[in-house]
């Protein structure tokens, strides 16, 4: 949680969009699919949610940049022509056949599988199989956060100090 997977998926989806392609983001649960849908919609990507209970019209599907959903995205009834990227979140929660079916949704789309859970099979595939590994362990160049407790008598001066240092205040 908080490892940056969704940001990586969003940037990849945006690049696919800039090149005229759609992205499918497959999540194992409706709750996670809905969270991804809200996040991607909030950053401005035209996103549709597809679950067993939510089935957008073919027109909405065709006009969307990103299709976020559960196993419903794997349906044979879902026909998409411009899929350039398939993102599988929590990939260990899907079977081999399901991942292969997701990867066949376009004409040879790029496939990004993500997990924050290093299960043995995934580790073995990364080490010995045909997978590339990217590790997001920290934000590059992050400056350590400093926190002070300021007495009430010096509070007004404390509010002015970060502004002069180009910092920020949270309360």
For the stretch 115-143, pLDDT in tens is 777 777 767 777 777 666 666 666 667 77
Evaluate if residue 16 carries a pLDDT over 60: yes
pLDDT exceeding 70 applies to what percent of the chain? 74
For 113, the 3-state DSSP assignment is strand
Q: What pLDDT is attached to residue 110?
A: 87
pLDDT exceeding 90 applies to what percent of the chain? 4
In this structure, what token pair is assigned to residue 72?
Answer: 């419903």
Mean pLDDT across 136-162: 75
Would you say domain 5-128 falls under CATH 3.40.50.300?
Answer: yes
If one compares 137 and 38, the residue with the highest pLDDT of the two is 38
> What is the rounded average pLDDT for all residues in the chain?
77
Helix 30-42 to helix 5-18 angle (10° resolution) is 60
If one compares 10 and 123, the residue with the highest pLDDT of the two is 10
Mean pLDDT across 84-90: 85
CA 33 from centre of chain: 10
Between CA 49 and CA 70 the distance in angstroms is 9
Domains in the chain: boundaries: 5-128
User: Which residue shows structure tokens 């509070």?
Assistant: 155
């Amino acid at each position: 949680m908080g490892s940056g997977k969704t940001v990586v998926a969003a940037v990849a989806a945006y690049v696919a969009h800039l090149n005229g392609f759609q992205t499918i983001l497959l999540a194992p649960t409706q709750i996670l699919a809905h969270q991804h849908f809200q996040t991607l919609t909030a950053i401005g990507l035209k996103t549709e949610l597809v679950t067993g209970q939510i089935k957008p019209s073919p027109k909405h599907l065709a006009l969307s940049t990103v299709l976020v959903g559960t196993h419903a995205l794997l349906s044979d009834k879902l026909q998409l022509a411009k899929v350039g990227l398939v993102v599988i979140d929590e990939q260990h929660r899907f079977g081999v056949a399901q991942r292969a079916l997701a990867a066949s949704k376009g004409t040879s789309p790029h496939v990004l599988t993500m997990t924050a859970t290093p299960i043995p099979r995934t580790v073995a595939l990364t080490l010995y199989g045909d997978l590339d590994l990217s590790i997001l362990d920290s934000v590059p160049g992050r400056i350590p956060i400093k926190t002070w407790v300021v007495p009430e008598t010096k509070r007004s001066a404390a509010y002015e100090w970060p502004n002069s240092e180009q910092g920020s205040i949270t309360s």
